Structure 1
């Protein structure tokens, strides 16, 4: 199958951010075959990108997709409020069908706003039925996903080895798996060691929330002492870690996902992206949870610019949202429009009122002024999951009905 995205203003992200006016993108068998002007592909399906901006899809490196049914309920509280009202009062009521409804609509929300890859940190695992529901919904949405399988922090246990192996037997193609460990901030250390050992045995990456507490003031040093620092680990947040901890992360080759909107709203500490970059740590961006923040990457990019005190340019923020996110997840063939990469790309209408007049600096315009309504077309592996402004991968009305039923049950 061949597809030609013709005549757009193409923004690529690696190795540097570049802008190419009136440029075509040729896709063959789901991968990018050529990028240039006047490409000839007589037998290709054509997407006319005239008056459009074409760029790599966004990569969300940390999101609890299962919480979609609880949108907004954590907005007016801090982290303790989130644990009480979201995790305890509502999260413990979840059934497999609630996970299915939230994951499907949450993933569709991602693709609707141009997120083509999501790291789904699924810490709502009551049984393998929950994991099956989550993975099936991700697959139905058409998104690319790294499914993080792990326990609830309310339980405080290790990752269920049998459950993880079950998930591994069910995924393929666009969906891969990570060990979603509670980590040294939220679990006894013997469980942490068990999680890291399991990940190494199965050849899987680890994703974990990290912060400093009275009980574990230096969690990264504790991991180092146990010989557990490894490059294929994605730490999340890290707002209150001292510089010595950030240096250990940098030296290990691991990355950090920051979620500035949630971190600010839940009072998790000062913005950390600039400190991480200064320490040499790879930084990526996550939504985290729609219980407390917007669910789109445009909002997160704008938060980074607003809170970064000019530490980042617009081009650098765009890289955080694309190629840096891919690297953080260990995905080598997404995040940019390099030849041979997966054809995960988005098309924005540059003629929309909020973007009109912004082509003097299209990168800054997209990062500072864009929103999901500008996203006209989304391809994942060359397959349209949004086209002409409409999600096409599944029945949206049915998905919304199921979510409404779930929300009514969970909040009754």
Structure 2
């Protein structure tokens, strides 16, 4: 099937964010074929016997389409750009929205991981992952790295993956062992996920290993996880702040281009050089890091060290779940007196798209409108209040746009949002499941704590 997006202002992100004026995006079988001048502007390409139906045609001459089965998406008055890439989110926490708004990192860990997590049943994980994935798509986030530390049983794992698949979101499912202790490691489960649940690296949902060590676990556990992941062809991701984590991995010979470091607040300059030299990447969650007290978001230091850096929501327990809020937090933090070079809006949009894709090892498939890539595309309504008039489309996306402006979303060429409304999903059912899950989890946790 062919889909053609016409009449929009196109913003591509490769090699750097830039505006492609008067461009038409052609998609075939879910893949971007071309980004080029509108075909109706090239009369020599139009068959002589084809009626010139441009007059009164808001789609610029494409009504009726040149080929049977072609869908025309009229993006008149809109901004067309690659879908956002969220490089770090705990999707299962969607049903805990705002529950830890004032919490420090320690308080969050005690409440969410210590008290609430044990109350989740497998069906609760399904409901939470479905609702979180829907939230991401609605906001124009087409790819999420789901750092999933809710693997209490194999049923919990199956439910998480099932929900991601059902949602239509492109996701990296980062399997994390059920706890931080060496005894909590479940190599057989990781192998089952790889062989039975997610055997392919080409689907919408692909596997990775979300590792605890050597931050929350031992160096020995880290060695075992790294060996396991590399044996199975899985990329790794870990939370890391301050001195210690990078150095321990370096000493153990575990650094590499398949390792994604999350947060990185306060990591010494020499350690950043080690990460950069290994080809490692980073994810920054500026809203959560600022509010929970991790430290100043390190976008400037990371990027000036030559480390591909993406952006992440992290958790909606105390942060919004959209990339617009994250981009603005990153932009503000990056210009708040750091010694590193100031961030520009172009830098920030790159981190939310192509650089984020590079951080999770997917820039060959997503993150830009380069022909041959998956058609993960967002169309913003540039006439929306608070966004119009648009002088600089890149600046408008980063500093002014919000979720209300997300008109159309495609994932792999499939329309999942049209005219400001999600399609192909039962919103009432998903919302009801999320609300019931939130009620069960919080009630069960209170009951258990009172014993």
Band the TM-score falls in, shorter-chain normalisation: over 0.9
Cα distance per residue 1:105-144 (max 9 Å; x no partner): 1001001000000000000101111111011100111011
The equivalent residue for 1:201 is 231
SS in 1 for 2:7: strand
Matches within 5 A, 1:228-247: 228-247=254-273
SS in 2 for 1:90: helix
TM-score (structure 1 length as normaliser): 0.96
The equivalent residue for 2:39 is 39
Deviation of 1:77 after TM superposition, in Å, equals: 1.2
TM-score (structure 2 length as normaliser): 0.88
In 1, distance between residues paired with 2:240 and 2:115? 23
Aligned pair count reads 407
Query: Retained in 2: the 8 A contact 1:7–1:37?
Result: no
The equivalent residue for 2:354 is 323
Sort the Cα spacing of 1:404 and 1:156 in 2 relative to 1 into closer, same or farther, 3 A: farther
Query: Retained in 2: the 8 A contact 1:150–1:160?
Result: no
Cα distance per residue 1:4-50 (max 9 Å; x no partner): 11111000000121102332100001000111122366121001001
Matches within 5 A, 1:12-411: 12-39=12-39, 42-43=66-67, 44-153=70-179, 155=181, 159-168=185-194, 169-171=196-198, 172=200, 173-212=203-242, 217-309=243-335, 311-331=342-362, 332-358=364-390, 360-411=391-442
Cα distance per residue 1:315-359 (max 9 Å; x no partner): 11000000011111111110000011000000000000111112x
In 1, distance between residues paired with 2:183 and 2:94? 24
SS in 1 for 2:329: helix
Query: Retained in 2: the 8 A contact 1:122–1:148?
Result: yes
SS in 1 for 2:398: helix
Structure 1: runs of 5+ lacking an equivalent: none
- State which structure, 1 or 2, has the greater radius of gyration over its C-alpha atoms: 2
In 2, distance between residues paired with 1:148 and 1:300? 21
Structure 2: runs of 5+ lacking an equivalent: 41-64, 337-341, 444-451
Query: Retained in 2: the 8 A contact 1:158–1:192?
Result: no
In 1, distance between residues paired with 2:332 and 2:358? 24
In 1, distance between residues paired with 2:343 and 2:85? 18
Query: Retained in 2: the 8 A contact 1:157–1:187?
Result: no
In 2, distance between residues paired with 1:190 and 1:4? 52
Cα distance per residue 1:74-94 (max 9 Å; x no partner): 111100110111111111211
Deviation of 1:157 after TM superposition, in Å, equals: 5.1
